[in-house]
Amino acid sequence: MSESNSAATMSSVWSGGRSPYAVNSKKFGMWLFIVSDALTFSAMLMAYTYVRLSTPNWPTPFHFFPSIIFSTVMTFCLLSSSLTMVMGVHAMNHGRRKAAVGWILGTMAGGAAFVVLHLTEWLNLIRNEHVTPFSNEWGVPLFGGTFFALTGLHMTHVVIGLIYLGIIAFAVGRGKFKAEDVEVSGLYWHFVDLVWMFIFPLVYLMSAKI
């Protein structure tokens, strides 16, 4: 192969020899997990949409206040935590460990606020609207089943993310872990945020009661 041909191959999309994606294995592994988890959430959202379309009297228990307002504030918390996370990754990439820890703690605060608000919203739904995973006043148990499964799986991801970020913040504060480790945890957190961008409109806003 001539020198010019070799240069052309190296600059092509699929070049790269032993590292064709130019990312480390941890980051690539997290991307693969994210793709598989995205399919899980896609399937659950489709199952939710399927039962919703095929059920004539689908409940709309989400009053504008408190449910929609609460879920909007929850969305604000998650979006803001994504901003603080990306700032943390940015700080770590520039070698500012203390700043990175501060940003990660800010991210955890946003995530914790989301969980507290979400649990409050769940309690409101259970106590005031009498919706449980198995029954409700409208006689459509699939509503509670799909709603709690979908939002519960998402909240589980948020809680796992909080634990993950706590470990990362602790280690980074002690001078351990590299920038790539913070970036990989950031990928997970942004994915959790991304999933909520579909759950919020399709589950809450589509069932709003004005």
Q: By CB under 8 A, is residue 21 in contact with another protein?
A: yes
- Give the residue carrying structure tokens 């996370």: 85
Q: What is the smallest separation between the CB atom of 34 and another protein, expressed in angstroms?
A: 8
Please, which residue, 95 or 175, has the CB nearer to another protein? 95
Tokens read off for 143 = 């509503």
Q: Which of 93, 128, 132, 156 binds another protein (CB under 8 A)?
A: 93
CB 72 within 8 A of CB 208: no
Angstrom CA distances, 201 to 15, 68, 72, 112, 198, stand at 40, 10, 10, 21, 6
First to last CA, the chain: 69
Q: Which of 94, 130, 174, 176 binds another protein (CB under 8 A)?
A: 94
Sites for another protein among residues 189-208 (CB under 8 A): 190-191, 193-194, 197-198, 200-202, 205-206, 208
Q: What is the smallest separation between the CB atom of 130 and another protein, expressed in angstroms?
A: 23
Residue 134, SS3? coil
Q: By CB under 8 A, is residue 80 in contact with another protein?
A: yes
Q: Can you spell out the DSSP letters for 86-137?
A: HHHHHHHHTT-HHHHHHHHHHHHHHHHHHHHHHHHHHHHHHHHS---SS--T
Size of the site for another protein (CB under 8 A): 57
CB 186 within 8 A of CB 121: no
**Which residues sit at the interface with another protein, rule CB under 8 A?**
13-14, 16, 20-23, 28, 31-32, 35, 38-39, 42-43, 46-47, 49-50, 53-54, 56, 64, 68, 72, 75-76, 79-80, 82-83, 85-87, 89-90, 93-95, 179-180, 183, 186-187, 190-191, 193-194, 197-198, 200-202, 205-206, 208, 210
